[in-house]
Structure 1
Amino acid sequence: MYISLFLTLGAMHLVALASPGPDFALILRSCHHRARALGAAIGISLAILLHATFSLTGISLLIAGAPLLFTLVRVVGALYLGWLGYGALRAARSRQSGFSAQEGAQGSLLLGLRQGVATNLLNPKALLFFVGLLAAMVTPEVGTGVRLLLALELFALSLVWFGLLAWSLSTARAQRLLARAQRPLNLVTGLLFMVVSGSILLETALPLAA
């Protein structure tokens, strides 16, 4: 009965996953250390599971409907993404090749996990995406059990996608290719974080200034 719902939702989620964004940029920035990259993949997937669960239970809708709370979420998320962007741009300006010594010392799965959760969970655009997508596709008639399975589907697809991405980018061959363009990659990922951060802050400030 719900096969079409699972297939459609899964296909739309895969399209969203394949689109460049802060999650992809984080994997790219972390791939110098496989453990850290895999940790980031797990963290992003866990955050997506939380977003899906919150959206399917109405919690995200309550957050989005509370102006002060949602503004706080947007500002905190934008500042965090901006901080990640600043770190990437600083690395791009560094005279040292590759990743910084500090990043090398922090190549742990736990660090990647924390960054993955924070990058996705604090991104208000992700919150709005799941609220809009799930509200449009999951009707009130859909039971709790099916909603749980839908959330698990999104988690599983995210984990497979970002896990494969983290693993493939952290191979020796991929690292040799990426090492030749380390500064441009840091520049691109830094600018991506900064653009997303700036757009969130601008979208937040415009209604307040009106």
Structure 2
Amino acid sequence: MPAELFFTLGALHLVMLASPGPDFALMLRTCHDRVLALGAALGIALAILLHSLLSLTGISLLVASAPWLFNAIKLAGALYLGWLAWGALQAVRAGAGSSQHSSRRGQGSLGQGLRMGLATNLLNPKALVYFMGLLAAMVSPQVGMGSRALLAAELCLLSLLWFGVLALCLSTPRAQALLARSQRAVNAVTALLFGLVSIAILLELAGGLASMAG
């Protein structure tokens, strides 16, 4: 496998990881508990590993080519992200302050965070399309399965490193003190991120169904 492919794909993935989206919003929602946040980081990384493997083996293309299955994934993802947005919006309306923020500390678990991370990333059809497009464009058919597995492992490890560091940094006492003072703004940002992606998926789904009906 050419070294250029390895480093270029890694660099592009890091840019994607640094972009605000549902995964970043989830880290903001879970960082009040370090264990929960680390579980979410692990879940996101495992979901990205699965996305990568599905894309590199062509399974994602089969899923995308089955309209009913892809639409079902879109609907499930939109509803789940919408539910997360509603939860964050309720926190904004409740005016969650530092006392509520502190009281939630220690209530999460690694398994709970893992499930949240997996669901948030796996149920986001935008992630499926992203990995399918990126890997199809950059990984030629001549690249062997061993190299493909190495590329998938690279994307997973970079994701775990990025979100793991984010979880550790955002869960420090100093960061928590800053977040507690701006908790309503944080909840508003997470609600906006979840909500925008959810609405975009629903509009895309509605447009696709309308074109099929026409």
What do the CA deviations read for 1:93-127 (whole angstroms, capped 9, x no partner)? Answer: 11442456995574211111100000001100000
| Match in the other structure for 1:42 | 42
Q: Is this contact kept in 1: 2:42–2:114, CA < 8 A?
A: yes
2: CA distance, partners of 1:96 / 1:189: 14
- How far apart are 1:61 and its partner, in Å? 0.7
Q: Is this contact kept in 1: 2:32–2:101, CA < 8 A?
A: no
| Match in the other structure for 2:140 | 139
2: CA distance, partners of 1:106 / 1:132: 39
What do the CA deviations read for 1:9-61 (whole angstroms, capped 9, x no partner)? Answer: 00000000000000000001100000000000000000000000000001111
What do the CA deviations read for 1:145-174 (whole angstroms, capped 9, x no partner)? Answer: 000000000000000000000000000010
2: CA distance, partners of 1:104 / 1:159: 22
| Match in the other structure for 1:20 | 20
Alignment partner of 1:169 is 2:170:
yes
| Match in the other structure for 1:150 | 151
Q: Which amino acid aligns with 2:88?
A: A
TM-score by length of 1: 0.96
Kindly tell me the number of residue pairs found equivalent between the two proteins. Answer: 210
| Match in the other structure for 2:191 | 190
Distance 1:96 1:4, change over 3 A: closer
User: Following superposition of structure 1 onto structure 2, how do residues 90-109 of structure 1 map, counting pairs within 5 Å?
Assistant: 90-98=90-98, 99=100, 104=105, 106-109=107-110
2: CA distance, partners of 1:199 / 1:102: 34
Q: Which amino acid aligns with 2:53?
A: T
| Match in the other structure for 1:86 | 86
2: CA distance, partners of 1:67 / 1:152: 29
Identify which range, 9-18 or 184-193, moves more after superposition.
184-193
Q: Which amino acid aligns with 2:119?
A: A
What do the CA deviations read for 1:154-204 (whole angstroms, capped 9, x no partner)? Answer: 000000000000000000010011110001110110111011000000000
Fraction of identical pairs, as percent: 64
Q: Which amino acid aligns with 1:45?
A: A
Q: Which amino acid aligns with 2:27?
A: I
2: CA distance, partners of 1:17 / 1:198: 21
2: CA distance, partners of 1:103 / 1:184: 18
Distance 1:201 1:103, change over 3 A: farther
2: CA distance, partners of 1:17 / 1:6: 16
Distance 1:194 1:102, change over 3 A: farther
Q: Cα RMSD between the aligned structures?
A: 1.5
Which segments of 5 or more consecutive residues in structure 2 lack a partner in the other structure? none
2: CA distance, partners of 1:96 / 1:47: 30
Q: Is this contact kept in 2: 1:36–1:108, CA < 8 A?
A: yes
TM-score by length of 2: 0.94
Alignment partner of 1:33 is 2:33:
yes
